[in-house]
């Protein structure tokens, strides 16, 4: 099969890889209908995270089950399924509490490489959620978004306690931030402030439900949020970047007693304890337990109540994955969908 490999920073190649097979009775093998490039794939691509190449890439996937191990009972060959970036049993105490991305048996899907024609999915019963019928082709991008960026934005909104009556600020205008806006809208927020300096992203944020756009960053961005909230700060802040600047912008944009849902993968973020103490904010986040939200998100998509697939503004054949990475790296594309 064909699959994307990262050899070194900036060097993505699509090559022949060994076909996945059932290795454990709890595995499934799926044929991908679509896969994509994640903002988090750009960290090793940019050399900010070290690469031990050639490394398989990709952790976002939807497709048709081809084969299952003999211990798998919840999904069967022929079904259209969606999973997330950690395989999870969905039965341990941590999973049952809704934190499947920290499952005691979790396995990272990125190591298996979902930017490929086929993929082995461990713990298939816990990991995969099947749609009722094979979805029509135009729903596939939205279902693929549910595999990570929609579920992550949803978790960011949930962790930030978004709800009716709340003013929400969203730090980050990548796919996760934009879908955090969509989640906040769906969860009933009164006012949603998207922080973005890019016109196409601002337009999509508005389409997803943003009521205000703030173009300033850092302390100036915080000052604008305070201006818009009678000096108090937002009730809920979704942090969807993962840098020192974005995390501090998020914490400083929240009002005392407010909530920050942080879902940008943290890179060298240091929190000053004294400032945190006096901020009196709640911090909750981490790797999104996307599996918790998948059944609800799949229903909303299949009923055409939400259209998160709009974040894909570039679609390429899998063999052109290198251009997909390049376009996202240069911020020419919000998110690249790859067709195997």
Residues in contact with Zn ion by CB under 5 A are 38, 88-89, 92, 95, 103, 148
Residue 114, both tokens: 């979902």
Distances (CA, A) of 339 to 4, 144, 283, 321, 329: 12, 11, 37, 9, 19
* 311 touches 334 (CB < 8 A): yes
Smallest separation, CB 25 to Zn ion (Å): 17
Between 81 and 103, whose beta carbon lies closer to Zn ion? 103
- The reply to whether omega before 290 is within 30° of 0 (cis) is no
Between 148 and 239, whose beta carbon lies closer to Zn ion? 148
Between 38 and 205, whose beta carbon lies closer to Zn ion? 38
Between 69 and 163, whose beta carbon lies closer to Zn ion? 69
Distances (CA, A) of 47 to 3, 50, 99: 21, 6, 30
Between 35 and 281, whose beta carbon lies closer to Zn ion? 35
Instruction: Determine the Cα–Cα distance for residues 252 and 234; give it in Å rounded to an integer.
Output: 9
Smallest separation, CB 289 to Zn ion (Å): 10
Smallest separation, CB 226 to Zn ion (Å): 32
Smallest separation, CB 61 to Zn ion (Å): 10
**Following DSSP, what letter does each residue of 190-240 receive, concatenated?**
SEEEEE---HHHHHHHHHHT-SEEE---HHHHHHHHHHHTTTS-EEEEEE-
Smallest separation, CB 92 to Zn ion (Å): 3
């Amino acid at each position: 099969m064909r699959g994307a490999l990262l050899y070194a920073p900036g060097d993505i190649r699509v090559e022949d890889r060994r076909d996945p097979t059932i290795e454990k009775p709890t595995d499934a093998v799926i044929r991908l209908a679509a896969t994509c490039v994640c903002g988090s794939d750009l960290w090793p691509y940019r050399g900010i995270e070290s690469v031990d190449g050639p490394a398989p890439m990709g952790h976002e996937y939807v497709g048709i089950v081809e084969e299952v191990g003999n211990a798998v009972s919840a999904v069967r060959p022929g079904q259209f399924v969606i999973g997330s970036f950690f395989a999870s049993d969905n039965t341990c105490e941590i999973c049952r509490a809704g934190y499947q991305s920290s499952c005691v048996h979790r396995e990272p899907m990125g190591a298996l490489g979902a930017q490929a024609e086929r993929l082995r999915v461990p713990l298939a019963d816990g990991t995969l959620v099947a749609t009722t019928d094979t979805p029509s082709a135009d729903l596939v991008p939205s279902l693929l978004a549910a595999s990570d960026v929609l579920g992550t934005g949803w978790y960011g909104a949930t962790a930030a306690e978004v709800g009716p009556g709340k003013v929400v600020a969203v730090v980050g205008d990548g796919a996760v931030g934009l879908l955090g806006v969509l989640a906040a809208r769906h969860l009933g927020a009164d006012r949603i402030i998207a922080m973005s300096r890019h016109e196409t992203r601002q337009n999509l944020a508005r389409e997803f439900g943003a009521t205000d756009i703030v173009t300033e960053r850092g302390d100036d961005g915080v000052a604008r949020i305070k201006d818009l909230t009678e000096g108090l700060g937002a009730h809920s802040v979704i942090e969807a970047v993962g840098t020192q600047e974005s995390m501090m912008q998020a914490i400083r944009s929240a009002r005392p007693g407010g909530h920050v849902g942080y879902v940008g993968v943290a890179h060298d973020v240091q929190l000053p304890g004294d400032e945190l103490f006096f901020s009196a904010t709640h911090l909750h986040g981490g790797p999104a337990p996307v599996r918790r939200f998948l059944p609800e998100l799949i229903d909303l998509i299949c009923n055409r109540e939400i259209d998160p697939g709009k974040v894909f503004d570039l679609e390429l054949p899998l063999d052109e994955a290198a251009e997909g990475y390049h376009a996202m790296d240069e911020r020419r594309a919000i998110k690249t969908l790859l067709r195997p």
